[in-house]
Amino acid sequence: MGDGFELSVSAVSGLADAFADQQQRFHQLGGPLRDAAATIDTGDAGLDAETRAVIGRVNTMLGLIGDTWDRLAGAVDTVVDNVQQTDQQVAGSYRELLDGVAGTGTAQNVPMA
Amino acid sequence: MADQTPNVCGNPSSVENLGGASGQTASELDKLRAEVNSDVKATVPDRFKGDTANALQRFANWLADLIPEGEGSPMEIYHKSLGQAAQTMQKAKQLLEQAQQFCAQNGLYLRPDLVVQACDPNRPDAQALVTVGQNQVDTARQIADLARQQIRAANQVLDQMATKTADDISAIVNALGGQGGRGRTGGSRTRRGAATPRPRATEESELLYGPEGRIRLPAPGTGTWSGTPGDSVWTPHNPQNYGLEPGQSIRWREGVPDLSEHEVPPQFMRDGGSATLDGLPLTGDYKIDNALGDQALANRFGMTPDQVTQWRQDNDYIYHHYSDNELQLVPGRVHRALPHQGSASELR
């Protein structure tokens, strides 16, 4: 890409994959907490319920972080898609140009110097 | 009678289990935070520049700020507090068992309401024994109460963190508007291979069809339109997300943002002139059109096109296609953040 931007699709895809993996782990983090809270026994039923409610809110928070991470993964995906789309559009324009001007027929990839 | 144990002390193991689970969560959060930092740092410097790099790094920092790391993390504090509470509760339980043993050995019994009574109230030493047994039970109960206070205090700290963090995240998500993202299953990973060439709406944008064809607008909920969406003034709810100052807005005309109000000001142009370049034979091909813009500015500035390119890069200035013959030189922070399909799309 121009303007000093160098974007490798595979590298950025890797970042999106990492974010997607991380968002799933955020969602899974609350499982053990929820299970442990379900069996809590402090000798005070009111405190037990309060504790479960707090852990429920922690799970909500972890889920929201996961959702936010999911959006980040999606945004990075969009970057990749847009780069590929632009690349194909530019390539298409040049093919049309070459086909029209030089009559080269079917466009083929050529080695880069 | 004394073998009926009142549940005044609860189950210390259950408290310890919850503390252990929170410790594992704290540890996993630390790992995740480190991975996020590592992934971003490994990718950003080489692959992204300018505002995108800043945004990604800010996101990684945001996570770090959101949930402090290590010993100071609320989850870790919860882990330790519940561990202490479990120990306190265990001590209370032992004291209660000792009190029950004392009662059983001395002709006393413990009622479910934790009152010690003599099996034979007429014994001469009955009252003295009841007093000793009751003191032991009361001590156990006080220590159990102390354990519960520790749990309540730990709950309070964790709850404040969880509630505040959830509120903060919700505010951010609401500001972004709509639902989006990759999907929790990660199923969209196969999508990139197909790489179908198409304009697509993202969570930050909305793809519509107007008289001039496809137009991409900021998503509903991210700002307000003074009139027809795409052909009026759009004021974002969170201007900073779009590189704008509070109160600033963007004028759209026929589906294309007119960024003339946000152009590079004349005092920052090398010749003190306008950042609008018109009368250019634009093609819609960014590379060609950037070269046309750089050549036009090179002529004005008395520089070579390469020097203009370097000047733009150094200052993060980008050409915005406003019409089929007009480029607007704008700060990258404004241009990149704004979902749109400029006139370049129409030219193509």
The whole-number pLDDT of residue B51 equals 61
DSSP category for residue B280: -
Of the candidates B114, B261, B120, B237, which has an alpha carbon nearest to the alpha carbon of residue B176?
B237
Q: Which residues of A touch B159 (CB under 8 A)?
A: 54, 57
**Residue B170 or residue B67, greater confidence:** B170
Q: Which residues of A touch B318 (CB under 8 A)?
A: 3
Is residue B208 over pLDDT 60? no
The residue of B15, B18, B348 whose CB has the most chain A CBs within 10 angstroms, and thus the best one to mutate to test that interface, is B18
Which residue from A minimizes the CA distance to B9?
A: A43
Separation between Cα atoms, residue B234 and residue B251, nearest integer Å: 6
pLDDT digits over B107-134, tens only? 999 998 899 999 999 989 999 999 999 9
CA distance A97 to chain B (A): 12
Q: Which residues of B touch A25 (CB under 8 A)?
A: 28, 32
**Residue B154 or residue B38, greater confidence:** B154
The bridge status of strand B276-278 relative to strand B326-331 is antiparallel
CA distance B116 to chain A (A): 19
The whole-number pLDDT of residue B348 equals 46
The bridge status of strand B205-210 relative to strand B213-218 is antiparallel
Backbone angles phi and psi of B225, in degrees to 5? -100, 140
**Residue B212 or residue B23, greater confidence:** B23
The whole-number pLDDT of residue A94 equals 76
The whole-number pLDDT of residue B264 equals 85
Q: Which two tokens stand for residue A47?
A: 């405190």
CB-based contact B169 A61, cutoff 8 Å: yes
Backbone angles phi and psi of B319, in degrees to 5? -85, 130
CB-based contact B186 A20, cutoff 8 Å: yes
Lowest-confidence region among A40-44, B100-104, B316-320:
B316-320
DSSP category for residue B264: P
Q: Which residues of B touch A89 (CB under 8 A)?
A: 197, 348
Query: Is A77 in the B-facing interface, judged by CB distances under 8 Å?
Result: yes
Helix (H, G, I), strand (E, B) or coil at B252: strand
Assign A6 a pLDDT band (cuts: 50, 70, 90): low
pLDDT digits over A15-62, tens only? 777 777 777 888 888 889 999 999 999 999 999 999 999 998 888 888
The whole-number pLDDT of residue B66 equals 66
B178-196: buried (b, 16+ CB within 10 Å) or exposed (e) per residue?
A: bebbbeeebeebeebeeee
Assign B203 a pLDDT band (cuts: 50, 70, 90): very low
Give percent of chain B with pLDDT exceeding 70: 73
What value of ipTM does the predicted structure carry?
Answer: 0.71
The whole-number pLDDT of residue A103 equals 53
**Half-sphere CA count of B282, side-chain side, radius 13 A:** 27
Separation between Cα atoms, residue B57 and residue B143, nearest integer Å: 48
Separation between Cα atoms, residue B57 and residue B54, nearest integer Å: 5
Judge contact between B113 and B179, C-beta under 8 A. Answer: no
- The label of the residue with tokens 């882990």 reads B79
CB-based contact A15 B348, cutoff 8 Å: no
**Residue B322 or residue B194, greater confidence:** B322
Q: Secondary structure of B297-335 in the HEC alphabet?
A: HHHHHCCCHHHHHHHHHHHCEEEEEEECCEEEEEEHHHH
The whole-number pLDDT of residue B68 equals 63
Supply the pTM of this predicted model.
0.55
Mean pLDDT of chain B: 77
Q: Which residues of A touch B152 (CB under 8 A)?
A: 47, 50
Is residue B86 over pLDDT 80? yes
Give percent of chain B with pLDDT exceeding 90: 28
Helix (H, G, I), strand (E, B) or coil at A39: coil
Per-residue pLDDT, averaged over B18-31, amounts to 89
- For chain B, how long is the longest CA-to-CA vector? 116
Q: Find the DSSP H helices in chain A.
A: 9-38, 45-102
Assign B76 a pLDDT band (cuts: 50, 70, 90): confident
Which residue from A minimizes the CA distance to B59?
A: A72
Tell me which residue in A40, A80, A88 faces B14 most closely, judged by beta carbons.
Answer: A40
Burial of B299 (0-12, 13-18, 19+ CB in 10 A): exposed
The bridge status of strand B205-210 relative to strand B116-118 is unpaired
Q: Which two tokens stand for residue B154?
A: 């730990």
The residue of A10, A39, A61, A89 whose CB has the most chain B CBs within 10 angstroms, and thus the best one to mutate to test that interface, is A61
